[in-house]
Structure 1
């Protein structure tokens, strides 16, 4: 392992696109799978607050995937994560979000701040020389942004690939050209792609996509990037001796790996359990109910009376519970799916929620509690009816966004927010202590 006191060189690139739907996740996963199959250690990151794409990218790379976001995490923390990954990796890939320049903290902003060159995935269906015009625009729109080259996606034939490459400027690399093939597409639902463990043939899809990377010529590695050391103080041991039961199953899987790392770094012991399948909680001081898809598992969650009773008993003993988004919905009296079919949930918080066909809230948020500020994001399709008054409202980053209520009842704290613990470990620790302080 390279010394964590000196700079480290590692090939790296950020996979971007002119828009959503161009195939960024498929191509990033294919690249990770391809180079991993060649014996390389590939570390993958995801731009922005995303839980689903990282599951697929982790499957492809064989390593946990961490998020990178300048606003939610801070530039120094992003640099630290990349530097530590580069110390043991042969290749770093960062999947972008939306279009290259879209958003308040865009993929371009991240790439430029971290000094990582951009590779643009462009859906080439129905295009010839215009492909080069799009690539040229992406490469030159912000001259100070390093540009590694382009990846042509959904190419029709060898002749089409040649036409695309001939149209590119002489100094622009065609890193790969991938043939159109429905067999490599990734299925999706309302919050995005299906989770990795729901795609039974994911390995076969990635293997096929990996083959297609070399279909019209060899896939090229990006050039090495020099990553400088970052000195970050470890979080205080505020959770030393505490055992936290963390829900993790098909209904509750939206959790940052960095959050788990942060809890461990503060001295906590983690024990995982399934609200879907388990009849009892692990022996624990606190419970962490992350987000996920409870609405897809209403019958199983409602039917597991033993687990619901175990959570009530845990709460009645004055032990801490922290819940976000899907975990928050699980603690309400009832939750209804889009068809209006309602099921009884745990009932620790008064109120009911109803899934909608349209987004109810989306965006970055800052939450200020007595212990300080912590940041995260909101992304949900449900609406809430409750008489419970929030302890605090979050502040949305977007000008016309609306805040989320942060609720507290005894040692129970919950909201729609997905918070990023490393931004302020001291605030995060307060979620898991019985006093909540």
Structure 2
């Protein structure tokens, strides 16, 4: 058993990532074994949570993962750690499924983080609504971006004792986490990333929440779960080269685990560092930020030739989102500059000024489905006809379904904006990295 808390908020931008990381970092520094999760599909917040906790971070989504997968990952973490921190997504009740759905399904106590910079007594009304709208396990409330001790006292006075005042954090640039398109900046790109987390942990230590010993927290009892069946080793003996650097950073640790469970060996290479394509049976070009590194990627004509030879030998390449952009003939960055990219996929990738697609999707082929999500600002202009399209999972009440994402097949190359969660169907995952068409 372990202490478990789900850090949520009434909306995005309230500071829940900072607080979740501060809590994980504070107790990791004190010598506790800490595990962290992110609610909903996300590649960036987990990087910060991993830095704070010192352990790999998985995402939890009741639809994409499925309840059994979420339950198994939570139970394993609770068996290994003394503290499990789950960071919510958007507002507490936003999305289908929401962070509140996850809390209710597994009995995860909710710590609400509220940006109280411009409120006083209304803080109490907001907390009352979050607590009472649905019956959720409750851990307390932390006021963020507070103006000082007097402001904090006013906020605390607006709460009944049962609301669980957890303290207040000031607005402080020392532990602000910078953002850009797609979300937070990647933790690995900031030389002072750990210093920011330490500053946040120091501030949290002076609050009632930070002063509370883990032994005094309620211990979470995980629901009984059956161990997931090991997949058939359909990739036994196969070597998969995975691009991994600042341009190709969007890799779920769980996806690598699924490839290994299928019998594959994975080897990383960095296009930005000048690495040659390793000797391999298949290639995975994950998502990331090729648009921020277009000039350096454009210079890798040698790697483009190696990938072309790999494909000519009928060896598979799976390219998702940013990985697909790198294979385009041209990439247009945020300043409108055109870069000649690797030219293995006819078309032009253009970075837009707003979100082009966002939401959960499934890819149905064979006798099953791969679940995952789509989130990109760019568009792909091509004359290619898609071999398949993903199916959006939902639209929201009264809204039309968004379009599915195209999946292109060109010889041994498969590419899409779609980010699959490999554990949702190991069998279909194996087909992404095996010769032969999906359609």
Shorter-chain TM range is over 0.9
- Please say if residues 409 and 437 of structure 2, whose CA atoms lie closer than 8 Å, have aligned partners that are also in contact: no
CA distance in 2, matches of 1:218, 1:103: 28
2:70 pairs with 1:72? no
TM-fit CA distance, 1:343 = 1.1
Q: Report matched runs for 1:108-123 at 5 Å.
A: 108-123=100-115
Query: How far, CA to CA, are the matches of 2:434 and 2:30 in structure 1?
Result: 46
Alignment partner, residue 268 of structure 1:
264
Q: Following superposition of structure 1 onto structure 2, how do residues 142-291 of structure 1 map, counting pairs within 5 Å?
A: 142-143=134-135, 145-217=136-208, 219=210, 220=212, 221=214, 222-231=217-226, 232-291=228-287
Kept in 2: contact 1:14–1:117 (CA 8 A): yes
Q: Unaligned 5+ residue runs, structure 1?
A: 1-8
CA contact 1:279–1:306 (8 Å) conserved in 2: no
Deviations 1:173-214 (A, max 9, x none): 122321221211111111111001112111111111111113
Equivalent of 1:295, from 291, 294, 302? 291
- Separation (CA, whole Å) in 1 of partners of 2:121 and 2:266: 54
Of 21, 30, 39, the match for 1:29? 21
1:74-106 residue CA offsets vs partner (Å, 9 max, x unmatched): 001000000111111000010001110011111
Contact 1:324 1:414 survives alignment (8 Å): yes
| Conservation of the 8 A alpha-carbon contact between 1:188 and 1:194 | yes
Deviations 1:228-281 (A, max 9, x none): 342211111111101100010000001111100100111110100011123411
The alignment of Structure 1 onto Structure 2 pairs a total of residues equal to 428
With normalisation by structure 1, the TM-score equals 0.95
Do structure 1's residue 132 and structure 2's residue 124 form an aligned pair? yes
Counterpart Cα distance in 1 of 2:190 and 2:43: 16
Deviation at 1:133, TM superposition (A): 1.3
Task: List per-residue Cα deviations over 1:45-98 (Å, max 9, x = no partner).
Answer: 001110001001101111011000011110010000001111110000100011
| 1: CA distance, partners of 2:333 / 2:98 | 33
Offset of residue 169 of structure 1: 1.2
Deviation at 1:161, TM superposition (A): 2.1
Tell me the alpha carbon deviations over residues 14-59 of structure 1, each in whole angstroms, 9 at most, x when there is no partner: 1000011100111111111101000001100001110001001101
* Gap regions ≥5 residues in structure 2: none
TM-score, length-scaled by structure 2: 0.95
**3-state SS of paired residue (1:36):** helix
* Residue 430 (structure 2) pairs with residue 429 (structure 1): yes
> Equivalents in 1 of 2:371, 2:425: separation in Å?
8
